[in-house]
Amino acid sequence: FLVSSREMLLKAQLGGYAVPAFNIHNLETIQVVLETAAEMRSPVILAGTPGTYSYAGTDYLVGICLKAAHIYQTPIALHMDHHESFSDIRTKVEAGIKSAMIDGSHHSFEGNIDITRKVVQFCHGWDCSVEAELGRLGGQEDDLIVEDKDALYTDPDAAIEFINATGIDSLAIAIGTAHGMYKEQPQLDFDRLGIIRSKTDTPLVLHGASGVPDEDVRRCIELGITKVNVATELKIAFADAVKQYFIEHPQANDPRHYIIPGKAAMKQVIQDKIRVCGSEGKA
């Protein structure tokens, strides 16, 4: 069956590690994430943006995860990453998904509180956990592009007010990471993270982890991050390996052959990120 990510994150917080959330797109990417997590006995979250659910089909993704839960004899946390619409979340909760992110970060503070509170009220009736975002990340996720100059760091006092007003289970904060890779190495605001964490026990989420040096991710976890989102590095590893395969085998046309190196490359990134998160052996 499918589970919320609430217990996973609270356990990680007590244990001083983070749960990695990997963005998946189809059968193969779900397989490689779950296989690697099982081998390393790591908790894991499977994340899909609205674009992913419409690409693959919500029922197919739920069906694959339910089958995998049976095969691995473990509940699975399938998550709605960066969802922006209440009705979209409601439909997916009714389809069985128990972990949601409502991203109201492009709204005003009050507007973000309003939509987040509405999502929390609905989701908690279905035992679905809710992550929200305060502040705004730069970069591109799905079709939303945020210029660096429009990125906004999370204000610590506003974060506490937001958590109290909404009843969320976890909060995504903006401390200098961005979606996608970086032109220059990101300068993270660790002090800001430390201050936010000193004011709340609500699990904190780091988005945009692709391209962030391992030691910076580790420092974020030491300072209280309990969920680390990785998307772009997985896509790059997969695509580069498949491209290389076609360079070496220009006549290839069998997906059962050319997808294999993509999965293998993706697996290495997953292993690395699980180690950086400190989540190996914690499942």
Residues in binding site: 82, 103, 133, 179-180, 207-210, 229-232
Judge whether 191 counts as a catalytic residue. no
- Our finding on whether 175 is near ligand 13P (CB under 6 A) is no
Residue 154 binding result from ligand 13P, Na ion, Zn ion, none, given CB thresholds of 5 to 8 Å by partner type: none
Binding region for ligand 13P (CB under 6 A) out of 56-64, 87-95, 121-129, 230-238: 230-238
Which residues participate in the annotated binding site for dihydroxyacetone phosphate? 180, 208-210, 229-232
In total, the chain counts a number of residues equal to: 283
Residue in 3, 89, 230, 259 binding ligand 13P, rule: CB under 6 A:
230
Q: Which of 59, 81, 114, 148 is catalytic?
A: 81
CA distance 254 to 103: 39
Whole-Å CA distances, 271 to 187, 277, 280: 25, 10, 9
- Residue 76 per-residue DSSP state: B
Task: Build a one-symbol-per-residue string for 140-159: x at contacts with ligand 13P by CB under 6 A, - elsewhere.
Answer: -x------------------
Which residues are bridge partners to 129 per DSSP?
A: 99
Partner whose footprint covers residue 43, from Na ion, ligand 13P, Zn ion, none (CB < 5 to 8 Å by kind): none
Tell me which residues touch Zn ion (CB under 5 A). 207, 229
Return the number of other C-beta atoms located less than 10 Å from residue 147's C-beta: 8
Helix, strand, coil percentages in the chain from 3-state DSSP, rounded to 5: 50, 20, 30
- 138 near ligand 13P (CB under 6 A): no
Q: What is the per-residue DSSP string for 2-41?
A: B--SHHHHHHHHHHT--EEEEE--SHHHHHHHHHHHHHHT
> Given the complex with Na ion, which of 6 and 227 has the nearer CB atom?
227
Q: Which is nearer to Zn ion, 153 or 258 (CB)?
A: 153
CB closer to Zn ion, 229 vs 232: 229
Q: Which tokens hold the place of 74? A: 């473990």
Out of 48, 50, 211, 278, point to the residue binding Na ion (CB under 5 A). 211
For residue 212, give the 3-state DSSP assignment.
Answer: coil
Task: Record the tokens describing residue 162, joined without a space.
Answer: 């937001």
Closest contact distance (angstroms) between CB of 170 and ligand 13P is: 13
